[in-house]
Amino acid sequence: MNIFFKKLRLLVVFYLLAISSLAHSQNMQAEMADFINGFHNFKQFNGNVLVAKDGKVLFEQSVGYANFEWEIKHSNKSKFRIGSITKQFTAMLILQLAQDGKLKLDDHLATYLPDYRQDIATKITLRQILNHTSGLGNYTQAKSFRDEYSRNPYSVNEFIRLLCSDDLVFEPGTDFRYSNSGYFILGAVIEKVTGQKYQDVLQKNILDPLDMKDTGYDSHNKIIKFRVSGYDNGLAGYSNTDYLDMSIPYAAGSMYSTARDLLKWDHALYTDKLLNNEYKKQMYHVSEQRNYALGWEVTSLDESTYGKPLTRIQHGGGINGFNAFISRIIEDKLLVIILNNTGGAPLTPMTNGLLAIYYGKPYEKATEHADSKLYNAFKREGIAGLKNTYQQMVSEGNTPRERLLNYFGYELMQMDELDAAITVFELNNQSYPDSANTFDSLGEAYLAAGDKQKALASYKSALKLNPDSESAKQAIEKLQ
């Protein structure tokens, strides 16, 4: 009899624990959903979110549209461009080739690309390219990139010659600079060593072994089922993003995937299916210059905040109309994936919020952006409403940042709202009177409105604050 009651008591305890655990899980899911919906309601996020532990999904949500024209909603099948998250796959391919003895990470680039300019190729190593300490530039920051190159298809060698062969910006191994050019070149190394196309090596070495059937190398020529459309998110609403030929991001950013497939990727990284322990350690080993390893950013989280030491391994990706984020807490095998198709979503604070909810810590909910608040006030009440809202924000200690206001003013100019743009630039000038840039932008707005006298005065003020300002010098010369 006593044994029976003991067993019964244990069953009751297990049952109560199970009920408690289920209730906790449901509460956490509801809190996460409310948190994500907050960003969506402010039109700051449109896409898919997944949180998992030990390879099992804890929370999954799809919000908004995969295609706005047809009002097709997102689902867990939605395939997003993931931009620079591609880099961790490229790094994996390089590490696999090193593991197989087909290359060495500390060999110079010249060993594998003898046709690349030798004054650079003999100085930089593959490891330095992987961790962005090579000194290579970044082709996406070239002034001519968007207007002259981004829409056209190029062969790998042709693009390297055109945009990835500039002089080094610093001596290799002495500094950190994020370089898409470097990872583009790594794609060429993979092709040279294997004798195969980058996308074929990617498919054979990673995607097929992990059964990642919803992940691949993107191309506008392919018919890809459930591929979502990319949009820009401006004050006036959503618009189709600019076209980008996918031969250009290449090994630095041309992949698409789903949250569920990236969960498979995360799970495989805890095993030796793709890489042995020796090379996995190298993959997560950061450089002396930055907390960037080989295709991953590695950060130690504050023990006092989380109650124990935690290591976060993560990477973001941004490409026309899309941004994405993958964050992994190694000690707890916790994963957060966020995929967005309206460009520029605040994925870092969203990730931090989801982690805080999981660990039961405080977090900040979504709030309306300052430019959105000001624009809505302008649409409701005109210039007076814009000014009143701005002054209220200042009085509350929430003066918008100079850069944000400047960008907001130019957005208004593009929308032909010149009076509102001038007002915003004037307010920015009042809040940041020591900034040459606020005077320069104000001068441009006055000039667009035909007020040459005020434009000249603003440009002169800009030049006084920054005697090296070429834009101010040129504008003054034309106006005098």
pLDDT at 52 over 60: yes
CA angle 280, 265, 363 (to 5 degrees): 95
- The crossing angle, in degrees rounded to 10, of helices 2-41 and 347-359 is 160
pLDDT above 60: residue 70: yes
The reply to whether the predicted model has a pTM over 0.85 is: yes
Confidence of residue 26 (pLDDT cuts 50, 70, 90): confident
Architecture of domain 370-479: Alpha Horseshoe (1.25)
pLDDT at 148: 87
pLDDT at 304: 85
Q: What's the pLDDT score for residue 374?
A: 97
Q: What is the DSSP letter of 100?
A: T
- Listed in order, the ranges of the chain carrying CATH 1.25.40.10 are 370-479
Tell me what the mean pLDDT of segment 60-84 comes to.
98
Q: Which two tokens stand for residue 11?
A: 């069953």
Q: Where in the chain is the domain with CATH 3.40.710.10?
A: 80-359
pLDDT score of 1 more than 90: no
Query: Who has greater pLDDT, 14 or 261?
Result: 261
The mean per-residue pLDDT over the stretch 136-143 comes to 91
In 65-116, beta strands by DSSP E: 65-67, 72-73, 80-81
- CB-count burial class (<10 Å; 0-12, 13-18, 19+) for 135: buried
Q: Mean pLDDT over residues 375-403, rounded?
A: 96
Residue 271 has pLDDT above 80, yes or no: yes
> Stretch 170-188: mean pLDDT, rounded?
98
> What pLDDT is stored for residue 461 in this prediction?
95
- pLDDT above 60 (res 200): yes
- Percent of the chain, pLDDT > 70? 95
State the pLDDT confidence band at 4, using cuts at 50, 70 and 90. low
Per cent of the chain over pLDDT 90 is 89
Q: Write the pLDDT tens digit of every residue in 147-162.
A: 889 999 999 999 999 9
The bridge status of strand 334-340 relative to strand 231-234 is unpaired
CATH architecture group of domain 80-359: 3-Layer(aba) Sandwich (3.40)
